Amino acid sequence: AQSVTQLGSHVSVSEGALVLLRCNYSSSVPPYLFWYVQYPNQGLQLLLKYTTGATLVKGINGFEAEFKKSETSFHLTKPSAHMSDAAEYFCAVSGGTGFQKLVFGTGTRLLVSP
């Protein structure tokens, strides 16, 4: 079975500060890893994903994440937070044979203050 742990249900940063959202996964097979963002009262939008190849993955809106197999981590970062980044962020994992099934973490609410 696969699982995802997101440390910190809430993360607060100031505008312009570094954003770091943590995600650790558990998987007995090579994982595929995803970060999704959910703005209030909206659906989920893909920020970025890791499948194979380069372990540093760049996504939309200036976000990036690095797959570290030894640490079973896929932390999300952005060098400089913007007010519009305030949202809920979800890390998810899939993998193995058979049809795809995303397993989500519990989410992290990012708060950005002026």
Partner 1 sequence: DTAVSQTPKYLVTQMGNDKSIKCEQNLGHDTMYWYKQDSKKFLKIMFSYNNKELIINETVPNRFSPKSPDKAHLNLHINSLELGDSAVYFCASSQGFQGDTIYFGEGSWLTVV
Least CB distance from residue 16 to partner 1, whole Å? 27
Mapped onto helix, strand or coil, the DSSP state of residue 95 is strand
How far is residue 29's CA from residue 96's CA, in Å, rounded to a whole number? 6
Residue 66 carries which side chain, given as an amino acid letter? E
Instruction: Say if residue 6 is exposed, middle or buried (CB neighbours under 10 Å; 0-12, 13-18, 19+).
Output: buried
Quickly list H helices, the chain: none
Site for partner 1 in 73-92 (CB under 8 A): 88, 90
Q: Nearer to partner 1 by C-beta: 13 or 90?
A: 90
Site for partner 1 in 26-45 (CB under 8 A): 32, 34, 36, 38, 41-45
Question: Is position 99 an interface residue for partner 1 (rule: CB under 8 A)?
Answer: yes
Out of 49, 59, 62, 66, the only residue in the binding site for partner 1 (CB under 8 A) is 49
Q: Nearer to partner 1 by C-beta: 70 or 97?
A: 97
Tokens representing 29 are: 């097979």
| Strand pairing report for 56-58 and 64-68 | antiparallel
Question: Is position 69 an interface residue for partner 1 (rule: CB under 8 A)?
Answer: no
Q: Which residues bind partner 1 (CB under 8 A)?
A: 32, 34, 36, 38, 41-46, 49, 51-52, 88, 90, 94-96, 99-104, 106-107
